[in-house]
Amino acid sequence: MKDLIIGCFTGYDWSTVQYWANSIDICGFKGDRAVLVYDTDSATVDRLKALRFRVYPFDPAEIATGYGYGFGFEENYAHRFQAYYEYLSSLPDIDDYRYVIATDVRDVVFQTDPSPWLFAHLGEKKICASSESLRYQDEPWGNESMLNSYPRLYDRMASRRIWNCGVQAGHIRVMRDFWLQLSMACAAGLEAADQAAYNILLSLLPWSEITLFAMSEDGWACQAGTTAWPDRIERLRPHLLEPEPKWDGTFACTSAGIPHVILHQYDRVPDWYPSVYRRYESVDERTSAIASVGVADGSALSPPPSAAAVKQRKHETRAMRVHLYTQCWNDQFMLPYFFRHYDSLVERYVIFDDGSTDRSLDILKEHPKVELRRFARSDPHSFELSTQVLSNQCWKESRGEADWVIVTDMDEHLHPQELRDCRRDLDTRARFSNGQRERTIRHPTVMEDVPAWRSMGTNDEAEHLQSRRNRRD
């Protein structure tokens, strides 16, 4: 099944929406994408269509006529939820979709593909909500909004955690119906307060029981407006419910250094947004900006960039492409931890299964990034020699496709900081030792045969490994 990213905006042009739109392309998302637009220009529509967006015009004033809003649509952001409901209701192939992800457009970028994270974490839940890491009573804007919009419910909500309305996701049919209820709840407020209505609904049955309430530390979304905005963080820091996010120079990350899937409100953090703009702006927009500066200050314009320079610029603005090769044999209990660790880093998994008889194959077939293959022994008498041959050869198909390849065992977890250090290392044959086993990462265009891995564990570990090998041989 495929997933869908959807957005909605009024009055924006390409200069504003390009970062959101380009990030969906750059992060490696393979599903469909749609955007509902009002009061934009044809050039912006054409640019969105070029990025494979389905673009649908809507009229927020017309949508608002069916509700008793006590305020004009200019103040009311709830119209987007009614638009989402109507759009999803019109899809003839809605059952071909699994998840839908809806975010704000102006100040959101996708740092990594959202589909693997949702697959790994949502489980039996139907909705994913993103934490602002604060309670209502401790966040002045949210507190005032709840008090003014739903005063009779304020005491019930004041001590509850705030869930951000600008990043929502879940199973598509559930989200469709939830958004209709959210539109109706917004109409009941004394002021326009979509986030207050959103939080009230999530606190009620049945929504509270079917929602995954994801904290920032879970790696789903970074809400920078409450956790990193310099204008507010000193006042809010004593009330934060979890560690502040980190900036690694490229991505907003959890305190453990894992990039968040989604970055929201990045434009409020001066140390962050220049890097975000550079990473996700369109190549021609950057060239135009440079040219404009040249004209404004009277300096001579540089000649147009060469084709090679443009190609290099595109390479710099997209995410690093990492392919991972590994083997599987009855690893149903290890696979969730394996994917949770690598999903934010790896674009493509190639997994060779050696005849698993547990649920491993079902798990692998469900993962959107996995190519499942059968492990064919090149030496029918030796599992170890067959594995060595596979490790020496499998990665070579990634030449010209990936920036880096990882060849590893299912129970070996390389940390992203190590990979970033490796990428910066001029010696592309970097190695890292975890005290038990040496792992090798190489650039796929220069990598030669991988030497046989050496077991460096304790005697007990060696006996366990030998027992496993004997079963498989």
Per residue in 228-247, pLDDT tens? 999 899 999 999 999 999 99
- C-alpha to C-alpha distances, 431 to 349, 386, 414, nearest whole angstrom: 21, 23, 11
Reported as a single tens digit per residue, the pLDDT across 380-410 is 888 888 888 888 888 888 887 888 899 999 9
Q: For 304, which DSSP code?
A: P
| Residue 232 to residue 406: CA distance in whole angstroms | 41
Confirm if 318 and 281 have CB atoms less than 8 A apart. no
Give the mean pLDDT of 363-383. 87
pLDDT-based confidence at residue 68 (cuts at 50, 70, 90): low
Tell me the backbone φ, ψ of residue 451, rounded to 5 degrees: -70, 160
Nearest C-alpha neighbor of 179 from the set 74, 65, 101, 263: 101
**Interatomic CA distance for residues 13 and 45, integer angstroms:** 9
2-278 and 322-472 agree in CATH topology = yes
* Average per-residue pLDDT for the chain: 81
Please say if the pLDDT value at position 293 is more than 80.
Answer: no
The answer to whether residues 53 and 21 touch, using CB atoms and an 8 Å cutoff, is: yes
For 298-323, how does the pLDDT look when each residue is reduced to its tens digit (9 = 90+)? 323 333 334 444 344 444 444 578 89
* Residue 138 pLDDT > 50: yes
Give the other-Cβ count within 10 Å of 471's Cβ. Answer: 10
Q: How many CA atoms lie within 13 A of 467 on its CB side?
A: 6
With pLDDT > 90 as the criterion, what percentage of the chain qualifies? 59
443/424 Cα distance (integer angstroms): 12
11 vs 16, 17, 39, 281, 346, CA distance in Å? 10, 10, 5, 19, 36
Alpha-carbon gap, residue 456 to 159, rounded angstroms: 52
Q: What is the CATH number of domain 2-278?
A: 3.90.550.10
What pLDDT sits at residue 216? 97
Q: Is the pLDDT of residue 181 over 80?
A: yes
Q: Which CATH architecture has domain 322-472?
A: Alpha-Beta Complex (3.90)
Show me where the domains of the chain are located: 2-278, 282-317, 322-472
| Type of residue at 47 | R
Kindly report which listed range (37-41, 196-200, 469-473) carries the lowest average pLDDT score: 469-473
